[in-house]
Amino acid sequence: MATPKPEILAAFEAAKGFMPVREGLALYDAAVEAGALGLPLLEVGTYCGRSTLLLADAARAAGTVAITVDHHRGSEEQQPGWEYHDPTVVDPEVGLMDTLPTFRRTLHKAGLEDHVIAVVGRSPQVARAWGGQVGFVFIDGGHTDEHANGDYEGWAPHLAEGGLLVIHDVFPDPVDEFTGQAPYRVYLRALASGAFTEVSATDSLRVLRRTRAGV
Ligand SMILES: C[S@@+](CC[C@H](N)C(=O)[O-])C[C@H]1O[C@@H](n2cnc3c(N)ncnc32)[C@H](O)[C@@H]1O
């Protein structure tokens, strides 16, 4: 199993975000494997860059780049009054969340800015405008069915054969109203398409491989 160097793991642990270390290690291992295809590694859901650090380091090792997409206004469960809200990432001037400055600091501190293309925008819009193939798709964006399906429908068609589709927050049993089960339904949908086979499951992180075209 590919593991990140201690300084990368330390940066991951220090970064704001929600991903536990065990899942981060599985994400890193998958990103390193997919990097061998020599295609960009794509993430939906940058937030403050915690998972992006791992993709950036894997991309650096493979001589490719990590692309991370987020509107930086936060998901439903991160808005004021909700459990995952962090008031330190609100822009006081516009009164909305803005995780972009924190993300940029995270990446800068880790020395990984040169290995990431950050796209600020809505995932389905960016996916429609995206022209090329990617070797890795990591879905960690909005957790409603609309958003999770939009991420899958937008990005899975860009995933090359042999590439890896990684889905976060896959909970076969309901955990709470915030995380929901939309990622689980997207995971089932990907398997039911016949275009993906499961490679590994680590807590709520699922890694699937594209074995033929289709979504
Ligand atoms: C769970 S957080 C991502 C966590 C991050 N991967 C980490 O490891 O810390 C989800 C992110 O998805 C973003 N998001 C939600 N829906 C989106 C959409 N339709 N397009 C782009 N970004 C979206 C939110 O702004 C939020 O930053």
pTM score, whole prediction: 0.97
Q: Has residue 201 been placed in a domain?
A: yes
Q: Has residue 113 been placed in a domain?
A: yes
Other beta carbons within 10 Å of 207: 23
Each residue of 4-45: pLDDT tens digit?
999 999 999 999 999 999 999 999 999 999 999 999 999 999
CATH label of the domain that carries residue 21: 3.40.50.150
| Tally of domains in the chain | 1
143 tagged catalytic: yes
Nearest to 140 by CA among 15, 24, 59: 24
Q: Has residue 174 been placed in a domain?
A: yes
Tell me how far the alpha carbon of residue 210 lies from the centroid of ligand 1, in angstroms: 23
Ligand 1 in reach of 181 Cβ (< 6 A): no
Query: 12 pairs with which residues across the strands?
Result: none
Q: Has residue 144 been placed in a domain?
A: yes
Lookup: tokens for 9: 């793991």
Mutate to test the pocket of ligand 1, among 8, 27, 41, 46 (most ligand atoms within 8 A of CB): 46
Phi/psi zone of residue 95: left (φ > 0), alpha (ψ -120 to 50 degrees), beta?
A: left
Query: What does residue 4 show for φ and ψ, rounded to 5 degrees?
Result: -70, 155
Q: Give the per-residue pLDDT at 31.
A: 99
Q: Has residue 160 been placed in a domain?
A: yes
Q: Has residue 1 been placed in a domain?
A: no
What number is the average pLDDT over the span 205-213?
A: 98
Q: Has residue 77 been placed in a domain?
A: yes
Q: Which domain holds residue 80?
A: 6-210
Q: Has residue 155 been placed in a domain?
A: yes
- Helices and strands counted in the chain (H then E): 7, 9
Mutate to test the pocket of ligand 1, among 72, 140, 146, 169 (most ligand atoms within 8 A of CB): 140
Task: Return the amino acid letter for 19.
Answer: M
Say if residue 76's pLDDT is above 90: no
Looking from the CA of residue 151, the nearest atom of ligand 1 is 19
